[in-house]
Each structure stands twice: as C-alpha cells, then as structure tokens.
Amino acid sequence: MYGIDLDKSLEYEVASMREFAPHEKHVKRKCESDVLVMVLSGVLRFNEDGVDYEIMPGEYYIQHFEAIHGDSLESDCPRYLYIHFRGTWNDSRTCLPKRGTFIIEEIIGCMTELNRLVYGGGCKTEILSCFYNIMTYLLNGRNHTESQAERILKLLTSDIKDPPSLEELSAMCHFSRNHIINLVKKEFGMTPYEYLKRERIRLASSLLSATDISLEETAESCGFGDYTSFFRAFKSVRGISPSEWRGKCRQRSDI
C-alpha cells in the first residue's frame, strides 16, 4: 500500500496535541510538510484535494505534502495529536499506509509524553525517540488487518502504468463491481479510479519536480495514454498545468 516508507529517513518538524472548539473547521492551506493526525476523541473532518475525509477516534491519517486543504467542513470537537514531518512516499513492504487504526490505550502514553517534551523543553533526542516510537507502533503494532478496501487499492496500484480493470479487480477479489466501488468510496471518500488518478498525479508531481524528463515521458511513466489526458487530469487535481508545476518547483529550489 502506498504510504510513508519507514525504511527511509524521516525529518521531524513539530508536534502538538490539539482540540477543536464547537463548530471549528480545519484550516484552509497547502501542506508544507507531511502531517500525521491521530484522533483520540470527537471527529475530525477536512477536505483534501477536493475529497472529504472523516477521521474517527482510534484512526490516524497522513496528510500529504503539498495537498490542498479546504475549510468547508465542521468537525465534532476532535482532540488529536498532529506531527509535522517530511518523509518519502512510495509503495513497499516498509510503508506506513496513509490511513489506518490504532489502539488508543496502547499508544496514548507515548503521545502524551511527546506533547509534554515539546512544551516542557525536552531535548531533541527525547522528542525524536517518541516520534520514532509512534511511527514504529503504527507500522508494526496496528490492531487491524488489511481492510478489504486497502487490499483492493493495493491491487489497483501494484502497476500504476497498467492497472487491472474493474472487471479484473472483481474477479481477483470475488466482489461485484458496485461492491468494490462502494467499499473504497466508504473508506477513502472516492472511487477506485479517482484514487488511482490522484496517485498517478502524485507520482507525476514528484517526477516533474525532481527530474528533467519531458512532459510526454512523465505522462507515459504515470500511466496516461497521451499528453492531453495527462494535462487534463493534472490540472483537475493541482489547479495548474504540468509545465507550470515544474516551473514553480524550480523557482522554489532556486530560493
């Protein structure tokens, strides 16, 4: 499953416990880092890249670097820990999926200790130790087996250039096409192929910012049949064209 690769280095930035007031909404922003959110009580709602999400107690979610968050949804007084960090996104056996569950009683001590160290002047080593313990717990100590929706998306994105069709997914998972769509939409807030499109755009965004390959090669590498379809999909997700995205990334790197 696509997520944060814990076999790669992580760069911790900041962490804090947070509690929303009644009717408070998630901040409107463009993420400048990856953000791990772990909900302890209440319900956190936000819109990420045009998709609505609802994170319940005992659930975590990793907001993606450069994702766009809207402020249209009211939350239900959530109390949660957030950690800003920078990691590497890919698909490997050491990846922490971007969404999952945890047992509050098992990890609340470490979460509380991290918050105490941050505000009590703990040394960097102590803070990093808590951060790594939380990430390791979520990877190895999660209390859930892979959900049906996660399994479907893992199959779908196993080959991002040539993914299985809905009919092939149906045969592999022994579910009807509609049941597959409903499972994924309920857990991830989008259809399987909306998810695939966004993962392709995330990969394309990384290639455009980190390499000099042509726009046409980028489109092909990410599974788009032609540049026109790539252009339309990219602009629908990012709000700008692929060439504009590359230009902005280069401007930031020159600062």
CB 172 within 8 A of CB 155: yes
CB atoms under 10 Å from CB of 49, counted, come to 19
The pLDDT assigned to 62 comes to 95
CA dihedral 204, 207, 208, 211 (to 10 degrees): -160
Instruction: pLDDT band for 185, please (50, 70, 90 cuts).
Output: confident
Q: Is the pTM of this model over 0.85?
A: no
Give the range among 77-81, 227-231, 248-252 with minimum mean pLDDT: 248-252
The percentage of residues in the chain with a pLDDT greater than 90, rounded to a whole number, is 47
Instruction: Select, from the ranges 53-57, 91-95, 103-107, 162-166, the one with the highest average predicted confidence (pLDDT).
Output: 162-166
Instruction: Select, from the ranges 97-111, 131-145, 223-237, the one with the highest average predicted confidence (pLDDT).
Output: 223-237
Instruction: Tell me the average pLDDT across 7-17.
Output: 94
DSSP 8-state symbol, 34: E
156, pLDDT greater than 80? yes
CB 4 within 8 A of CB 88: yes
